[in-house]
Amino acid sequence: MTPLLKKRALLSVVYFSMTGIIIWQAVKLLTGVMTPPSEDSFIDIEGNVLRPGSYRVGPGVTQFEILKVAGIRPTSDISLFDLTKQISGNQQMDVGTMPNPVSLKTPLSNVRLEFSLGQISVVATDGKSRAAEEGMELSAGDRMLTEEKSQAELSAGAYSRIDLDEFSELAVDKVNAEEKGKKLIATSQKTGTCWYKIVYTGKTELFKTATPLVNITAAGTGGDFMVTVKQDEVDVHDMDGLLLIERPSGTEAINMISGQTAVIFNDNRPFQVTQLASEANPTDRFSMLTKEKSNVILRHMPLNFVFCAVPNVYIFISMQFEGGKLHLVHIPGNVSVDEFVQGCTTLDQAFLYGGGVFVSTLIEQIMDARISKYCVFDKEKVIRVAGAVGGVSLNVDEKSASALKISTGMQKLSATQLITYLKPGSSSSDDYETRQTKVIKALFEGLRSKNIVLTGLLTEQLIANIETNFTTSEIMDDYSKFLEVKNWTTKDYMLPVKKITQNGRVRVDPVLEECKNLLSQ
Q: pLDDT for 369-381, tens place per residue?
A: 888 788 887 767 7
81, 103, 125 - which closes a domain: 103
Residue 26 lies in a domain: no
* Higher-scoring residue by pLDDT: 503, 418: 418
Q: Are residues 68 and 94 in the same domain?
A: yes
CA gap 345, 132 in Å, rounded:
38
Q: For residue 28, is pLDDT > 90?
A: no
Q: Tell me the range of 36-45, 188-197, 398-407 where mean pLDDT is highest.
A: 188-197
Q: Are residues 395 and 498 in the same domain?
A: yes
259, 293, 327 - which closes a domain: 293
* Higher-scoring residue by pLDDT: 279, 23: 279
Q: For residue 504, is pLDDT > 80?
A: no
Dihedral pair phi/psi, residue 17, rounded to 5°: -65, -45
Q: Are residues 288 and 318 in the same domain?
A: no
Q: Are strands 303-309 and 373-377 parallel, antiparallel or unpaired?
A: parallel
Q: Are residues 338 and 280 in the same domain?
A: no
Q: What was the pLDDT predicted at 165?
A: 96
Q: Tell me the range of 19-33, 66-80, 227-241 where mean pLDDT is highest.
A: 227-241
Question: What's the total number of domains in the chain?
Answer: 3
Burial readout 491-511 (b: 16 or more C-beta within 10 A, e: otherwise): eebebbbeeeeeeeeebbbbe
**pTM (2 decimals)?**
0.63
What percent of the chain stands above pLDDT 70?
A: 86
Q: Are residues 371 and 244 in the same domain?
A: no
Residue 13 lies in a domain: no
Q: What was the pLDDT predicted at 12?
A: 46
- Averaged pLDDT for residues 58-79: 87
- Averaged pLDDT for residues 296-323: 80
Q: What was the pLDDT predicted at 471?
A: 87
Residue 331 lies in a domain: yes
Its domain, for residue 190, covers 111-293
- Averaged pLDDT for residues 32-47: 67
Residue 4 lies in a domain: no
Q: Are residues 269 and 318 in the same domain?
A: no
Q: For residue 232, is pLDDT > 70?
A: yes
Q: Are residues 206 and 319 in the same domain?
A: no
Residue 20 lies in a domain: no
Residue 124 lies in a domain: yes
Q: Are residues 143 and 64 in the same domain?
A: no
Q: What was the pLDDT predicted at 276?
A: 92
* Higher-scoring residue by pLDDT: 258, 396: 258
**120-158: pLDDT as tens digits:** 999 998 888 888 888 888 989 999 999 999 999 999 887
CA gap 39, 79 in Å, rounded:
27
Residue 468: exposure state from Cβ atoms within 10 A (0-12, 13-18, ≥19): buried
Q: Are residues 413 and 315 in the same domain?
A: yes
The CATH number of the domain where 169 resides is what? Answer: 2.60.120.1440
Where residue 97 falls among pLDDT bands split at 50, 70, 90?
Answer: very high
Where residue 6 falls among pLDDT bands split at 50, 70, 90?
Answer: very low
- Averaged pLDDT for residues 472-498: 87
Where residue 4 falls among pLDDT bands split at 50, 70, 90?
Answer: very low
Q: What is the mean pLDDT of the chain?
A: 83
Q: For residue 323, is pLDDT > 60?
A: yes
The CATH number of the domain where 438 resides is what? Answer: 3.40.630.190
| Cβ neighbours of 471 (radius 10 Å) | 13
Q: What is the dihedral of CA 76, 203, 281, 229, to 10 degrees?
A: -150
274, 293, 312 - which closes a domain: 293
Residue 488 lies in a domain: yes
Q: Tell me the range of 114-118, 149-153, 329-333, 466-470 where mean pLDDT is highest.
A: 149-153
Residue 18 lies in a domain: no
Do 59 and 39 contact (CB within 8 A), yes or no? yes
Q: What was the pLDDT predicted at 448?
A: 67
Q: Are residues 283 and 332 in the same domain?
A: no
Q: Are residues 98 and 121 in the same domain?
A: no
Q: Are residues 412 and 478 in the same domain?
A: yes
Q: For residue 483, is pLDDT > 60?
A: yes
- Averaged pLDDT for residues 85-110: 83
